[in-house]
Structure 1
Amino acid sequence: MLPGALYLAVAAIAVILGRRHALDLPLLADHLTAWAASPGATRAGGQVVLLGAVLAAAAGVGLAAQALNSGAERLILAADWRTWRTPLRQLAAAGVQSRRTQWVTAHRDYHRLYDQAEQARQAGTPPGEEQRTERHAAYEKIIRISLEPPDRPTWSGDRIHAAAARLDRDLNVDLPTLWPHLPDSARTEITTARAALARATAMGGWAVLYLPLTWWWWPAALITALLATIAWQRTRTTAEGYALLLEAATRLHLKGLAENLGIDPADKTPAALGQTLTHQLHTQPPPPPAEERQTPLPRPNPSPPTASLPPEPASPRP
């Protein structure tokens, strides 16, 4: 209600002042005074009707914002960008390819500097401060692009994907399968972090709502830019925290989860343990329905009996 009411207030200001008098506060005060002195605003019945209309409009704006928030979150995290419709999917694919090219270039630069430092160290001349600074800057450039090879068109989406990619590579763990089975405390922290990420992306939806107001009132562009900037910063921060928490909780509770399921982790490597847990917790799809055999109709003149064919092997389970 409150964000919706604030939006209605800004929209009313935009309609009253317009472009020519965008910052004319006395004009705004005159209009508000005239509205307050009108008969509809001074009577109890009119006030009730006005309050009900404002609350209903604020609720409607809130519902519209929630719909936009879902779309903004889907665009920012881009977890399912390969299923988007053609124009968006092509743009996302181009973004992923661009990020991969930048990541590969930065990765090569870093390894070139690293190899030079190793060769200098083996030759008895350790790299100086300038070389270490350059190598550190090259590594930071990789991190700014993505921790792992980019798979999504946005940094926030790649940061969450990196957690799943690391766990799959290091521990053979399928993160979506494993994390719901973590202890209650870990799942509560993960759910809280995910809610914070949703609130951060919601700012982007509100920025989209404020954008049309710039047609009537140019200061709304400043509000839109401010909300978009806050959404961008908070989304990156909360995505980082959410991904760190997912990866840390999984690594920390892997052995405990195995013990709760009756699996002895003592004789297994972490990768073997993660593969065993993923296999045990993964829900198999239902088997395909058996083909109904139709009984052939008797023939008037049956042919001589032939050797029966061996039964078809059962289809392997996925």
Structure 2
Amino acid sequence: MTGFLTEVGKRLGTRWVTAILLPGLLLVAVVVAASVLGHEHAFGYARLAAAADRAGREFTTRPARLAVFAAVVLAAAGLAGTTAGGLGGLVQRWCLRDRFVTGGLLRRSRWSRRSRAVAAAERAGATVVPAYLPQRPTWLGDRARLIEVRVRAQYYVSASLVWPRLWLLLEEDARRPITDVRTRYAEAGTLAGWGLLYLVPGVLWWPALLIAAGVLLTAWSRLRATMAEFAELAEAAIDLRLRDLAAKLGLTLGTEVGPAEGRTLDDLLGKAG
């Protein structure tokens, strides 16, 4: 038991260092540099070196101040990591929202994703399916919405009702890639939180704004990639195990699931009768 707890402590400690402490220390270093340099001396390395020399001499003559400074820095780094995680959660919810801040004006514009999708379909001579057109403010929100739309179109059931029951039927090997991609999606959200935090020193030091932009762009790219992967895995799991779920509930689905079968399963899962 002691060995197990020691190993858990090591893993938690490693994760805390890599996911919170090190990024937090980097942010604190940027904040300190921003406060010393400012906009006028954005790349004043001599100014930064002089400030470091002064701090080094003061800490040498007064070691107690060094200990206090180190404690404050570690606390600030930890607080920054916690804040980044919280902001990451807010970013995920914001990206998955179903309402436009503009009240739909942006969606109706000729430059919106919806308008561009309609134009592309018309150029290709393809039939436009309204349910498949972009309807949410972000690509992430639409890709998450399409899981429900695509499963409903194929099997006449609600993916939101099927998924939690089907998850309980999946073996560990089948769950692992889904759990992994959800973890990476959450980490990408946290990375977006770090990007937002870098906007703070950007008020004092404009190069921090470039750092923030790079981090946010990287986070957005990872959010898109992991959401696309999760959607594919979720739909694949439903494709492969929906009939097993129905059998567990006492229903038999044919090779092609018809509207009547889908509605029966939907009503059963939704406790409609």
User: Under TM normalisation by the shorter chain, which class is it?
Assistant: 0.7 to 0.9
With over 3 angstroms needed to count, the CA separation of the structure-2 counterparts of 1:242 and 1:267, relative to structure 1, is closer
Residue of structure 1 aligned with 2:143, choices 159, 177, 182? 159
Match of 2:117 among 97, 100, 103: 103
CA distance in 2, matches of 1:187, 1:266: 26
- SS state at 2:198 partner: helix
1:270–1:52 Cα change, 3 Å:
farther
Secondary structure, counterpart of 1:37 in structure 2? helix
Give the alignment's TM-score, normalised by structure 2. Answer: 0.78
Higher relative contact order (CA 8 A, sep 6+): 2
1:69 and 2:71 aligned: no
Match of 2:220 among 232, 236, 244: 232
Within 2, Cα distance between the matches of 1:57 and 1:239? 31
Residues 108 and 74 of structure 1, relative CA distance in 2, 3 Å threshold? same
Equivalent residue for 2:264? 276
Say if 1:41 and 1:47, in contact at 8 Å, map to a contact too: no
> Is structure 2 residue 246 aligned with structure 1 residue 262?
no
Please give the per-residue CA displacement for 1:284-305, whole angstroms capped at 9, x wherever unaligned.
6xxxxxxxxxxxxxxxxxxxxx
**Equivalent residue number for residue 22 of structure 1:** 42
The C-alpha deviation readout for 1:167-190, integer Å capped at 9, x for no partner, is 011111211111112214344433
Q: 1:54 aligns with which of 49, 52, 73?
A: 73
Cα 1:258–1:69 change in 2 (3 A) is same
What is the count of residue pairs matched by the alignment? 245
Unaligned runs of 5+ in 2: 1-20
* CA deviations over 1:35-87 (Å, ceiling 9, x no partner): 122147752x4443222211221222223222322221122222x43xxxxxx
Equivalents in 2 of 1:173, 1:188: separation in Å? Answer: 25
Deviations along 1:108-146, whole A, 9 cap, x unmatched? 2211xx69xxxxxxxxxxxxxxxxxxxxxxxxxx9xxx9
Unpaired runs of 5+ in structure 1?
Answer: 82-88, 116-141, 285-316
Instruction: Indicate the residue corresponding to 2:3 in structure 1.
Output: none
Q: Alpha-carbon deviation of 1:11?
A: 0.3
Tell which structure's C-alpha radius of gyration is larger: 1
Residue of 203, 206, 215 corresponding to 2:191 = 203
**Residue pair 1:164, 1:247 contacting (<8 A) in 2 also:** no
- The Cα shift of 1:14 comes to 0.7
Residue identity over aligned pairs, in percent, reads 34
Q: Which residue of 1 aligns with 2:211?
A: 223
Structure 1 contact 76–201 (Cα < 8 Å) conserved:
no
Distance in 2 (alpha carbons) for counterparts of 1:54 and 1:24 = 23
CA distance in 1, matches of 2:27, 2:103: 31
1:243: Cα distance to partner? Answer: 1.0
Provide the rounded CA distance (Å) in 1 between the counterparts of 2:50 and 2:147: 57
Tell me the distance in 1 between the aligned counterparts of 2:154 and 2:254.
18
Within 5 Å, give how 1:32-47 maps onto structure 2: 32-39=52-59, 43=63, 45-47=64-66
TM-score, normalised to structure 1, is 0.68
